Amino acid sequence: MSVFKRGRNAKSHTVPKNQSVSDYRNATGLECLFGYLYLLDKSDRILELFEMITESRGRI
């Protein structure tokens, strides 16, 4: 969770064009989390998170 929060709260020098700032920051935090898990070779957890995301998208 701390990796996600650190990425989300990091200063960005770009402005989102088609999304809100909060959506952009959350996406950046998620990107940091996936990068962190990749560096730790935690592919099982990455796949688990992707499955959770795709399942929740179907309910929106």
Number of domains in the chain: 1
Threshold 0.85, pTM exceeds: no
**pLDDT for the residue 14:** 73
pLDDT in tens, 1-55: 677 776 766 776 677 778 887 888 888 888 889 999 999 999 999 999 999 989 8
Own/partner contacts of 32-37, CB < 8 Å, gap of 24 or more, are: 32/3, 32/4, 32/6, 32/7, 32/8, 33/3, 33/4, 33/7, 36/3
- The parent domain of residue 41 ranges over 1-56
The upper half-sphere exposure of residue 37, i.e. CA atoms within 13 Å in the direction of its Cβ, equals: 18
